[in-house]
Amino acid sequence: MQRIGMGLVGPGFVAAHHVDAVRRLGFVDVVALAGSSDASARKKADAWGVPKAYGRYQDLVADRDVQVVHVTTPNFLHDPVIRAALGARKHVVSDKPLAVSSAEARGLWQAAKDAGVVHAVTFNYRGNPLVQQARDMIAKGELGPVHYVHGQYLQDWLLEPTDYSWRLEPDKGGQSSALGDIGSHWCDLAEYVVGARIQSVLSDLTTVISTRMKPESTAEALATAGTQTRREVAITSEDLASVLLRFDNGARGAFSVGQVCAGHKNGLELEVNGRRASLRWIQERQNELWIGKRHEANALLAKDPSLLAPAAARYARLPGGHQEGWADAFHNLMRDVYEWIAGGKGASGAAPFPTFEDGYRSACIIEAILKSHASGGTWTKI
Ligand SMILES: NC(=O)c1ccc[n+]([C@@H]2O[C@H](COP(=O)([O-])OP(=O)(O)OC[C@H]3O[C@@H](n4cnc5c(N)ncnc54)[C@H](O)[C@@H]3O)[C@@H](O)[C@H]2O)c1
């Protein structure tokens, strides 16, 4: 197989997992990193064993050895970096959210189609074997018609007023904070698993911590700011949200999102109730799928490729009893993307991974949720 050169812009928290995931493929070389300065890029490149380091993303995009550009900068930089990469006709893997508004996301989707390259957005929970299993069971009608889709995505890393991230600043993260950051994952997962689209939303949002102590020098997201000098800043974006949903297949739904919920680290949960059975998948216990029955005993299906549907078994890397995790699912998504690129299939809408079209759709859902709340809690169409 011909080797593929990967370059990454924004070498922070999640970038390390992009690098790890593509290296595990065996036919991808991580050629270059671009950071916010020459020094920071070089430091990360040395730490991660990457040969080239750039202080300007334009130089990485122009590098002839880079065929695929990964974008893991703060959200507001996705647009200029992706546009530069598309201008150079490079394939692009962007982390979510694709952009800070639906208009921007739509523009990127159009630009990617015009460039004729492969485009992907890392809604990585699709890469979990038991997510694939749930999707397969629902598609085969094993639950019967679905009438309720519900769950939550709760974290606690923004619980203290001293917790801080660029995600809280609308000019860097976008108008939405928690919803854009993790609500986007929940909505993508729900639509993907159920095979139906959210049609309208009714929401109630709030900012629990409305004043935070911002460190003078902003650390990378999720890094602790230690004992730095801080100043008080007002926070306007939501850190807690409750949303009712109506799906286009008639199903109803509800989910909550919060990053101020003590004890919840990466508490993504999805439950689907059909006329014959229910399914529940909990990210923090991702190696099991709960199957709920009325007339039989409930069951827990373990992640075991010998027990999974063929469509799901290919996402399991290890035999039963060998636990797999977040990084494995991320790697699975990268395998789908890079096999598509290696196969020279182009930017087809039939790609088996989330594309910029999904990134655009996600931005529309988040905007409708914000609009519903701003209008006093009214049903709002996507
Ligand atoms: N898929 C997931 O589950 C997941 C998880 C975490 C983050 N993310 C997304 O990934 C992106 C990055 O999040 P993070 O948590 O890694 O943030 P981070 O703050 O840890 O990292 C961002 C990096 O971008 C760098 N950067 C800033 N300006 C730059 C510039 N002009 N050029 C190059 N680099 C620049 C920063 O120095 C930092 O290294 C966000 O869009 C976020 O929503 C996705």
Q: What is the mean pLDDT of residues 1-5?
A: 91
pLDDT by residue (tens digit) across 36-79?
Answer: 999 999 999 999 999 999 999 999 999 999 999 999 999 999 99
Is there an atom of ligand 1 within 6 Å of 102 CB? no
**Of all protein residues, whose CA lies closest to atom 37 belonging to ligand 1?**
36
Same domain, 159 and 287: yes
Q: Is residue 363 part of a domain?
A: no
Same domain, 223 and 313: yes
Is there an atom of ligand 1 within 6 Å of 72 CB? yes
Residue-level pLDDT at 350: 86
Check whether 99 has a pLDDT greater than 80: yes
Mean residue pLDDT across the chain:
96
Same domain, 91 and 194: no
Distance 54 CA to ligand 1 centre (A): 16
pLDDT by residue (tens digit) across 286-317?
Answer: 999 999 999 999 999 999 999 999 999 999 99
Same domain, 120 and 135: no
Q: Is residue 340 part of a domain?
A: yes
Please, are residues 6 and 71 in contact by the beta-carbon 8 Å criterion? no
Same domain, 109 and 168: no
Is there an atom of ligand 1 within 6 Å of 57 CB? yes
Angstrom distance (rounded) from CA 336 to CA 82: 20
Check whether 217 has a pLDDT greater than 90: no
Distance 382 CA to ligand 1 centre (A): 27
Q: Is residue 369 part of a domain?
A: no
258 closest CA partner among 273, 246, 268: 268
Same domain, 241 and 138: yes
Same domain, 310 and 342: no
Same domain, 164 and 225: yes
Mutate to test the pocket of ligand 1, among 14, 17, 123 (most ligand atoms within 8 A of CB): 14
Check whether 221 has a pLDDT greater than 80: no
Same domain, 142 and 79: no
Q: Can you give the pTM of this predicted structure?
A: 0.97
- Residues contacting 376, CB < 8 A, separation 6+: none
- Residue 155, domain extent: 129-319
Angstrom distance (rounded) from CA 126 to CA 145: 22
Q: What is the mean pLDDT of residues 242-263?
A: 98
Q: What is the mean pLDDT of residues 359-379?
A: 98
Q: Is residue 277 part of a domain?
A: yes
CATH of the domain at 19: 3.40.50.720
Same domain, 208 and 271: yes
* Number of domains composing the chain: 2
Same domain, 148 and 82: no
Residue-level pLDDT at 228: 76
